[in-house]
């Protein structure tokens, strides 16, 4: 009996331990199921309204509440990210637009510059560089019209649109390189201008004629006077309408005198100049508008004018060789202006007609059956036109005032001042 009792006790202990383990396991399973049910219920409540009954929630649910709040903040971060992409796309598109504009301007520059013909090494200018005026537009033969309009002055601008001398030089350069140009017509409507600018244009035409043996003629529109006629005399043929005004061969220089006005205003103009080698007063300030001109100064200026007049007569006599002698030109060179009809009788021009007649005469002289009259369209200079002021100030600059005091000798038909023998 003693041996059996311990054995039974050990069995009971084992059974008790197994039962307790089962009870604990069942309790843990119930707790887990309970926790899962609470989690499911809370999840459903959050779906309906995540912020309802926050005060009733247990501290163990604070992490879930924080997650819900952070999830509400998440869209804001997404917006910032999307704004960054918008800016990036905008900058990219702006860059593409700038590149396109630069590329377009580059293409326009190339188009205006012309193309090179490698076989002949001559520049071949495409049709867009010319404006059609009259004639057979389909013809490959071109007659280039070069307008000479307005006063011929020494314009310091390097803008072809403003500087007449540069514009004519550029046209002649084009005609020397483009061999589809078979003749040139200078259409002149000018009262003349400065002596040196006029002489430069005359010389450019002479050099062109020596380089290219094509007819160069002049069509006189309204006025072809003084320096305008000086230029015309370098061409092979001069045509004008009957009512055109032609001639005025001569030189003029004007000097303003304001001494009496300054005296009335109480203005004193002090001038200090170097003297002659013998100590007498020099000619340094001759032509000043602040005082009366001396007889010596007037005689000196007259000698300069006569020298320039002789140059004018020589140029016209050379251009009208075989039609007028130098003496005949000198007799006509008294400053008078003539109508086209009278100028033809005097031998100053070769024919009377209109622009169509001048065009037909150019075709005849170039032995052409068909041709088109064109004028050259200057190349565009975008940057220069952009930064150059188009509206000049009405207030004269110091430079303008100084230049206005400087005596100028002109091949120009213009109204003069009072004339005195003294």
Tell how strand 122-124 and strand 237-240 pair up. Answer: unpaired
Q: How far apart are CA 358 and CA 16, in angstroms?
A: 137
Per the CB < 8 A criterion, the answer to whether 365 and 236 are in contact is yes
Taking residue 143's Cβ as centre, other Cβ atoms within 10 Å add up to: 28
Candidate list 226, 234, 248, 288, residue with the active-site label:
226
Length of the chain: 422
Q: How far apart are CA 150 and CA 165, in angstroms?
A: 12
User: Which one, of 240, 225, 231, lies nearest residue 357 by Cα?
Assistant: 240
Q: Phi-psi category of 192—alpha, beta or left, where left has phi over 0 and alpha has psi -120 to 50?
A: left
Half-sphere exposure of 381 (CA within 13 A, CB side): 10
Is 226 designated active site? yes
Taking residue 205's Cβ as centre, other Cβ atoms within 10 Å add up to: 21
Residues 6 or more apart whose CB falls under 8 angstroms from that of 168 comprise 146, 148, 201, 204
Which H or E element spans position 105? helix 62-113
Q: Phi-psi category of 337—alpha, beta or left, where left has phi over 0 and alpha has psi -120 to 50?
A: beta
Start-to-end CA distance of the chain, whole Å, equals: 178
Q: How far apart are CA 8 and CA 12, in angstroms?
A: 6
Q: How far apart are CA 236 and CA 318, in angstroms?
A: 11
Q: How far apart are CA 196 and CA 410, in angstroms?
A: 9
Candidate list 22, 284, 321, 377, residue with the active-site label:
284
Q: How far apart are CA 241 and CA 343, in angstroms?
A: 10
Tell how strand 142-149 and strand 181-190 pair up. Answer: parallel
Is 82 designated active site? no
Q: How far apart are CA 17 and CA 30, in angstroms?
A: 20
The residues annotated as belonging to the active site are 226, 284
């Amino acid at each position: 009996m003693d041996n059996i009792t311990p054995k039974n006790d050990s069995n009971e202990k084992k059974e008790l331990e197994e039962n307790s383990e089962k009870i604990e396991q069942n309790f843990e399973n119930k707790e887990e199921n309970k926790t899962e049910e609470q989690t499911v219920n809370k999840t459903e409540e959050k779906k309906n309204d995540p912020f309802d009954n926050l005060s009733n929630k247990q501290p163990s649910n604070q992490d879930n509440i924080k997650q819900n709040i952070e999830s509400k903040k998440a869209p804001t971060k997404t917006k910032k990210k999307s704004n960054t992409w918008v800016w990036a796309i905008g900058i990219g598109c702006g860059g593409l637009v700038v590149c396109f504009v630069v590329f377009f301007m580059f293409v326009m520059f190339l188009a205006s510059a012309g193309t090179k013909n490698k076989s002949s090494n001559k520049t071949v200018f495409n049709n867009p560089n010319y404006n059609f005026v009259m004639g057979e537009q389909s013809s490959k033969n071109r007659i280039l019209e070069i307008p000479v309009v307005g006063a011929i002055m020494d314009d310091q601008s390097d803008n072809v649109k403003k500087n007449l001398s540069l514009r004519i030089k550029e046209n002649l350069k084009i005609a020397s390189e483009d061999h589809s140009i078979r003749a040139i017509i200078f259409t002149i409507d000018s009262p003349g201008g400065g002596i040196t600018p006029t002489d430069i244009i005359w010389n450019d035409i002479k050099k062109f004629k020596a380089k290219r043996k094509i007819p160069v003629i002049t069509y006189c529109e309204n006025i072809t006077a003084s320096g305008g006629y000086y230029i015309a005399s370098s061409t092979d043929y001069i045509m004008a309408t009957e009512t055109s005004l032609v001639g005025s061969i001569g030189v003029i220089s004007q000097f303003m005198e304001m001494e009496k006005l300054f005296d009335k205003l109480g203005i004193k103009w002090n001038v200090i100049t170097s003297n002659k080698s013998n100590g007498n007063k020099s000619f340094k300030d001759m032509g000043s508008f602040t005082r009366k001109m001396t007889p010596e100064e007037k005689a000196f200026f007259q000698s300069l004018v006569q020298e320039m007049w002789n140059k004018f007569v020589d140029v016209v006599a050379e251009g009208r060789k075989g039609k007028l002698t130098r003496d005949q030109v000198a007799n006509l060179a008294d400053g008078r202006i003539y109508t086209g009809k009278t100028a033809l009788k005097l031998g100053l021009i070769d024919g009377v007609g209109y622009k169509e007649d001048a065009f037909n005469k150019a075709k005849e002289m170039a032995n052409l059956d068909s041709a088109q009259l064109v004028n050259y369209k200057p190349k565009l200079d975008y940057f220069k036109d952009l930064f150059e002021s188009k509206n000049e100030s009405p207030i004269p600059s110091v430079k303008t005032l100084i230049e206005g005091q400087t005596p100028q000798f002109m091949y120009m038909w213009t109204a003069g001042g009072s004339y005195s023998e003294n």
